[in-house]
Amino acid sequence: MKRLLTTGFLLFSAFAYASSGVVPMGQDTFMISAQSFTGFSSAGSVKADIYKEGSAYCATLGKEFQPVNDHGVDGVPGRSFASAEVQFRCLNKGDPELSRPTMKPIANVRIESDAREKVEIRDKRDGRSQGIDDMYASLKKLKDLLDSGIITQQEFDEQKKKILAQ
């Protein structure tokens, strides 16, 4: 009886998630999201299954799997299931981008300009926004965003010109 329960649990654990399947996001970019069926799973195990699914999909195209970014939330027994999302590319063998994965962080800060061209920093985690009147503080915040890869050099230069024009 123990053997039957253990085998059943292992079998259930091995297939205990629902996947969105491969969803195209662009020419060679795709996304897969998945959720476990139990609160006992970790985001890491769901991500691992997604990575396997993405790798298999790219292999059917005769290409190599290259992760772009991933995100996951661990399950909490009795409250929530583990979930994860992986964005990836299917690239030709020998593509220079395959040399090493470069995961891009998902931005949690957005820069907006109001009618007076003051920079506003809006934090997506809590929705609060704060006007920054001090030019130095604005430039420092922009530089931090640039250094962390959240904004591009072009976006930095545009916002810097607006701040200096005030």
pLDDT of res. 121: 52
Domain limits, CATH 3.30.1360, in the chain:
16-99
pLDDT of res. 159: 84
Q: Which is higher by pLDDT, 100 or 30?
A: 30
pLDDT of res. 52: 92
pLDDT tens-digit profile of 33-71? Answer: 988 887 777 888 888 899 999 999 999 999 999 998 888
Global pTM reads 0.54
pLDDT tens-digit profile of 108-158? Answer: 555 655 544 444 555 444 444 444 446 777 788 888 888 888 888 898 888
> Is 11's pLDDT higher than 90?
no
Q: Which is higher by pLDDT, 104 or 58?
A: 58
Q: Which is higher by pLDDT, 1 or 7?
A: 1
CATH architecture of the domain covering 16-99: 2-Layer Sandwich (3.30)
pLDDT of res. 53: 93
Q: Which residues are CB-neighbours of 104 under 8 A, at least 6 positions away?
A: 68, 69, 149
pLDDT of res. 57: 94
pLDDT band at 106 (very low <50, low <70, confident <90, very high): low
Q: Which is higher by pLDDT, 134 or 79?
A: 79
21 Rama class: left (phi>0) / alpha (psi -120 to 50) / beta: left
